Homo-oligomer: A and B are copies of this chain.
């Protein structure tokens, strides 16, 4: 799209009340807008990144057999009373509200209860299992503190998948398959090198759960990583018993701050028993379904990418999630031949399916370059009198700064390779 038409623009300074680096850069770039503490809107550039992350996650969830649905945010108390989680003691981040015609409702912080209840209508026999169901759905959490930009908010989209299996073995098979899918997701969004599968507390559900923690100084968690084994241990379970369980020695572990970018969680029969989700096995015996939950927040992932990969000049988007593939900057100096050539290349790239942000604004070269660095689109193309006299355009990489002159006739091929 033409940058002159984009309704957002960059700004030099972030709002003073915004202390998180991810929010500072994303607000300065016009990717997001702060509505209040812990609630951000996604503007055109930000929504493009968000949707790319969502697409990566969706592809990986579909590849392991996930079936996509969307549950409601409004929650009726009856289901949550069955599991004992309606009270604010059980879930301390409920937002609750009143129906005009009487009765209280909650805004979903997670969806084990409604989905388990829903599955009772579709699961009755061992033939109906296993099933893997997921959604991208807006969660509401009444957080006391929300100071981490888009990494911890009061309203955010979560990809939450729930697995329904006949027994522990079938559950574990999928659990490991999903762990693999999660590692592929973090690699594709650019966090592969910094993300570790991390042993964490299983809470009231099981001995352990698994978190995926991305090393980052802005993180709220502390983990101990073993680079050799490519795993880590969350501080909350960092004790001699757990280390012995995992065959890890204190001296081989590094302490790091980290951001939890995903988690996978054995639920056992906690919810299936509370809500009556059972099946008849091959012998006709009724058994509770064994469940697991698997969460990733695309917005938190986006914030983490900004925290981990940005540099002093701005954001550096990995190719797969960048808002555009190419940022083409024209430096016209009032020369209409340059305008015509840039317009031509813009149309040519669009026709060839290349997503281009075309900085056609009437602005100084320095301003355009600085904006380009802040916005962090992977490939920059500069069209100017100088590049035209040299018979091409200047192509450079946001990630490593590498620059080359590419002839106009081979630009599409160059970008696509």
- A residues adjacent to B (C-beta < 8 A): 5-9, 30, 33, 35-36, 39-44, 47, 50, 65, 67-76, 93, 95-101, 105, 107, 114, 118-119, 121-123, 128, 131, 133, 138, 140, 142-144, 154-155
Contact = CB atoms under 8 A, between A and B. Distances in A.
A118 B155 CA distance: 18
Contact of A42 (B8, B69, B98, B140): B69
A93 B105 CA distance: 15
15 contacts: A5-B65, A6-B67, A7-B133, A33-B118, A33-B121, A35-B114, A36-B74, A41-B69, A41-B114, A73-B73, A73-B138, A74-B155, A93-B100, A95-B105, A100-B143
Contacts of A138: 73, 138
B47 A70 contact: yes
A68 B48 CA distance: 9
Given A44-B67, A44-B69, A95-B105, 13 more contacts: A5-B67, A33-B118, A35-B72, A39-B72, A40-B72, A41-B72, A41-B114, A44-B68, A50-B70, A74-B140, A74-B155, A96-B98, A100-B143
A262 to B, nearest CB: 22
A130 to B, nearest CB: 10
B41 A74 contact: no
Contacts of A47: 68-70
Contacts of A118: 33, 41
Contacts of A40: 72
A82 B73 CA distance: 28
A125 B257 CA distance: 45
A133 B7 CA distance: 8
Contacts of A140: 73-74
A74 B42 contact: no
A100 B67 contact: no
Nearest to A154: B74
A355 to B, nearest CB: 13
A101 B44 contact: no
A70 B69 CA distance: 20
Contacts of A100: 93, 142-144
B122 A9 contact: yes
A121 B8 CA distance: 9
B142 A39 contact: no
Contact of A76 (B35, B41, B105): B35
A307 to B, nearest CB: 21
A50 B107 CA distance: 22
A5 to B, nearest CB: 8
Nearest to A128: B7
Q: Find the residue from A44, A65, A70, A75 having the highest chain B CB count within 10 A.
A: A70
Nearest to A62: B1
Contacts of A7: 67, 119, 122-123, 128, 131, 133
B44 A74 contact: no
A128 B100 CA distance: 42
A67 B30 CA distance: 13
